[in-house]
Amino acid sequence: MSGTGVGTARAIGNGTAIPFMRRNGPDPLAAEHLRLFRNYEAMNLGWFWATDAEGRITYISEGAARSLGQTGDALIGQDLVSLFKNPNDEADAERRRTMPFQMARQARFDAIPLLVDIVGEERWWALSGQPARDSRGGFSGYLGHGVDVTKEQRATRESIRLAMYDPLTGLPNRRRMGNLLDSTIAAFRSQERACALMLIDLDRFKAINDSLGHPVGDALLKQVAERLATIVGNPEQIARMGGDEFQVILPDAHNRVGISDLANRIIESLSHPYTINGSRCLIGASIGIAVSPFDASTSDELVRNADLALYAAKGGGRGRARFFSSDLLQVAEDRRQLEQDLIDALSNGELAVHYQPILSAGSEDVTGFEALLRWNHPKRGRISPAIFIPIAEDANLIPQLGEWTLRQACMDAAKWPGELRVAVNVSPIQFASEALPAIVMSALANSGLKAERLELEITESVFLGETAETDARFAALKRLGVRLALDDFGTGYSSLGYLKSAPFDKIKIDQSFVRGTTEEGARNQAIIAAIVALANALGMETTAEGIESFDQLETMRRLNVSHIQGFLYSGAVSAADLDKHLENGKWVLKPQGPARQRHIRHTTFRKVGVIHDNHYYPAVLKNVSASGALIEGIVDVPEGTQFVVDLGEGQMVVAIVRRALQHQQGIEFEQPLVEDSNGALTTRHRVSPKVLGEAGLQQQGHNLVAKTGEGLALPAFHTTTEWNGIEV
């Protein structure tokens, strides 16, 4: 130390000088600074570092060095930036690039969080740095400070994860998937690359969630997520959008066959049984698909169009996948307009209650009527309940429409002679309302109808969330003296246990059981016999719905069903027409209809071919059922004529003309059609294009045409099930 005391310094670890001497002796303030400096490091509250002008370490606190598995001396001369890792996250990578940029600019930086390169552990340090100057004002490096912010970073990352991922399934959530979809479509737009979007909705999930409880429902959703991840491959492409709806993004997916195959595999996988806490759960899935840029140019449009396709898939019978098509936009617009019209229909007097007779199976006397709501639209005419009831459910109009129907039915029934009853459907939404007993009591009081003449039809679904409130609602209704009927029995998901306590007077056997009772090998008769026996044991009546043929009627009588309802006797009639039928105080109906049960007919309009007498004729298929169809386009075909119908795609079926009217023919198939996995009717066998070619036909689009023109002679039939040796 110089005798003049010009100020000396002590090297700290690596030669960085900190003055602590005065000209006239030790500097007590500098010594105190050094003591605080050492104490701060010892308490692990933070650490210090310094670099030269090239960014090489000239000092680092021993505590920080030990965290890296090194000593301070061993790290001297290393590049400071090399201590930190390149993270996968783009935002973190950007922060790692920020510090060298700031150092190159010789600028100050504050609390930049960086991932530390420590083997086996993820640690985060926040670094701050201040540029240092030498005696001539030149840049000499950095003096800086660091703090361990691992806990804070983990908390931040967890918050981000919760904001971007579904906490139940661990899949991306709506927000993250929206960001991914936006960025994918934006990036693909200029390159004209395709991106498919699937919306997946679970069928029957709500019933399981309500009946078995939310814990089982949550466990089920986890298993669904696992199955989706297995099929799709990358969980980051799958999102849970909330509830029982999932979304899948498929970048560069433009092959619709491949997309369809994937969708069908998803439906098949999700439909396999689940076992949760000893309970066996069965659900299904419906899928809507839209593909950008063909179906939409923005993410919002793509989601909307996939949602429209999903709605169509569910409306088509569920358990299937449907691609978006432009006509669905018009369907959606029509539905939106119908919803607006339905809101005003009641006040405009467009709604009416019609009544379908219910008869005693033995005497054929009318004992009562079921009240059915009808809508006569001023421009579109009669709107089917199958169309407007789902719209009313979505628009939350069911309570309003249900109450109006109840009050109108009571007013009409009060005018009927004798003890004829009126049955009114009560939806689960209405039943859940505490106001229901008061509404029923008010309807009875205002109309003057006796309580025992009102029958409320309630479906099994009210028992899915059976609670004390359910029992209280039944008790309140029975105190009013009304009758209760269990509607659509056997189609729900609940057990028979509620029949012990629920005070029903009647069980209505759903028409899905009635339909098929006359088919060979069907179990429906045994099921109906069991229902009747159960009802008799409990002192209840039974009504079979949907009776449309004499063979069904005879079967129901043989099974001792007490009441009959269906088109074999009458459809629903208006209140005015009903008053005319009841002028004499009694209405006895005689059955009128087909002798045998007919299959359900599906309305269609598509081209087919008819092969007859060595010629091929074009025709139009107007409607079709498993047993027959209506075709147009051939004139003067006698009844009893036999020909082969080409339904397209190698589907050939032998048919006989049963009814003929000029250019229309009602035909019966020799071998009934069957339903495929999507519910579409198809032949049991298909004929290969090679065989068809050998027979003188070629495939064009979906149908066949003669190779050499119209009227090409074709080989004659050999049997009723073969044409040119081809089994059809």
Q: Above 90 in pLDDT, residue 540?
A: yes
Q: Above 80 in pLDDT, residue 300?
A: yes
| Band of pLDDT at residue 350, cut at 50, 70 and 90 | very high
| From 189-193, 301-305, 519-523, 719-723, the region with the lowest mean pLDDT | 719-723
Number of neighbours of residue 668 by Cβ within 10 angstroms: 15
Q: Is residue 216 within 8 Å of 277, Cβ to Cβ?
A: yes
Residues 401 and 515 in one domain: yes
Residues 354 and 300 in one domain: no
Residues 148 and 285 in one domain: no
pLDDT tens digits for range 48-63:
999 999 999 999 888 8
Residues 500 and 412 in one domain: yes
pLDDT tens digits for range 255-269:
888 899 999 999 999
Q: Above 70 in pLDDT, residue 687?
A: no
Nearest-angstrom CA–CA distance, 555 and 514: 9
Nearest-angstrom CA–CA distance, 289 and 7: 79
Q: Above 80 in pLDDT, residue 21?
A: no
* Tokens (6 digits) for 255: 């092959």
Nearest-angstrom CA–CA distance, 726 and 685: 10
Residues 207 and 90 in one domain: no
| Band of pLDDT at residue 5, cut at 50, 70 and 90 | very low
Residues 522 and 378 in one domain: yes
Q: Is residue 422 within 8 Å of 391, Cβ to Cβ?
A: no
The share of the chain scoring above pLDDT 90, in percent, equals 34
Q: Can you say how many angstroms the Cα of residue 56 is from the centroid of all Cα atoms in its chain?
A: 59
Residues 147 and 200 in one domain: no
Q: Above 70 in pLDDT, residue 720?
A: no
Query: In this predicted structure, what is the pLDDT of residue 627?
Result: 81
Specify the 3-state DSSP secondary structure of 131: strand
Query: In this predicted structure, what is the pLDDT of residue 348?
Result: 92
CATH number at residue 630: 2.40.10.220
Specify the 3-state DSSP secondary structure of 291: strand
Q: Is residue 8 part of a domain?
A: no
The share of the chain scoring above pLDDT 70, in percent, equals 84
Q: Above 50 in pLDDT, residue 197?
A: yes
Query: In this predicted structure, what is the pLDDT of residue 675?
Result: 65
Q: Domain boundary at 129, 155, 181, which?
A: 155
Q: Above 90 in pLDDT, residue 496?
A: no
Phi then psi for residue 96, to 5 deg, are -65, -35
CATH number at residue 78: 3.30.450.20
Residues 118 and 192 in one domain: no
Q: Is residue 599 within 8 Å of 638, Cβ to Cβ?
A: no
Average per-residue pLDDT in the chain?
82
Q: Is residue 2 part of a domain?
A: no
Query: In this predicted structure, what is the pLDDT of residue 520?
Result: 65
Q: How far is CA 174 from CA 293, 303, 638, in A?
A: 21, 11, 62
Q: Is residue 17 part of a domain?
A: no
pLDDT tens digits for range 504-521:
999 998 887 887 777 666
Query: In this predicted structure, what is the pLDDT of residue 518?
Result: 72
Supply the pTM of this predicted model.
0.58
The CA angle 227-230-235, to the nearest 5 degrees, is 95
Residues 609 and 470 in one domain: no
CATH number at residue 242: 3.30.70.270
Range of the domain at 292: 165-325
Residues 527 and 644 in one domain: no
pLDDT tens digits for range 210-237:
777 888 889 999 999 999 999 999 999 9
Q: Could you give the number of structural domains in the chain?
A: 4
CATH number at residue 421: 3.20.20.450
Nearest-angstrom CA–CA distance, 199 and 181: 13
| Band of pLDDT at residue 242, cut at 50, 70 and 90 | confident
Q: Above 80 in pLDDT, residue 549?
A: yes
Pick from 532, 570, 565, 529: nearest CA to 546: 565
Q: Is residue 190 part of a domain?
A: yes
Residues 310 and 385 in one domain: no
Residues 549 and 653 in one domain: no
